[in-house]
Structure 1
């Protein structure tokens, strides 16, 4: 019986940072306007940059653009002044984007 070619081995390194960011976004909705919301901004911005880096490694540049934009909007140093219901909707939509990206970004394993 001839040997069948194996599928390339991949990993999902963005999965955990994406889940952490999604959880922070959803749990941060009740904290909007509170002092603790600054912590949510830090978590989301840092995780967005981590997911963007894994997207670069996976050669999926479109996710890089998305998560650089997320890092800019949620950055804690120069916060974008957004309030109201649109900000809540943005949290839910970006949490969904993180979940999808975490599942779809696959980086090939390198054997050493």
Structure 2
């Protein structure tokens, strides 16, 4: 039996967390001066670390500095106090990084064996 959709040689594993982080960043602009911003920082830091793992698996090292900067800036353990305008600009810049990383990070996949198909 022929397979209708062939197994691609790569997967965009960072796409879902990248889009989720971009949505959170754009919605999170309203949370910058609230007490919810700490919880928001956890989410962004964790998503940046997850995408960093996918970039490492894909051997796309050039994403690591940008993702490390995001992890450090949104770190809730040692929070940085920045002006409102700076945070707003950083939210937009980080959203662009997350979407670009999600679209461009491709993790190689092992080819599927004929014996494992059903």
TM-score between both structures, scaled by the size of structure 1? 0.89
Aligned-pair CA distance for 1:84: 2.1
Q: How far apart, in 2, do the equivalents of 1:83 and 1:24 lie?
A: 19
> Residue 103 of structure 1 aligns with which residue?
103
| Structure 1 vs Structure 2 CA RMSD | 1.8
Q: How far apart, in 1, do the equivalents of 2:9 and 2:111 lie?
A: 10
Aligned-pair CA distance for 1:87: 1.2
Matched position secondary structure for 2:76: coil
Moved over 2 A (4+): none
> Residue 82 of structure 1 aligns with which residue?
82
Aligned-pair CA distance for 1:80: 1.1
Please list, as runs of the form range in 1=range in 2, the aligned pairs for 1:14-33 lying within 5 A after superposition.
14-33=14-33
> Residue 61 of structure 1 aligns with which residue?
61
> Residue 34 of structure 2 aligns with which residue?
34
TM-score between both structures, scaled by the size of structure 2? 0.84
Q: How many residues align?
A: 107
Q: How far apart, in 1, do the equivalents of 2:82 and 2:111 lie?
A: 45
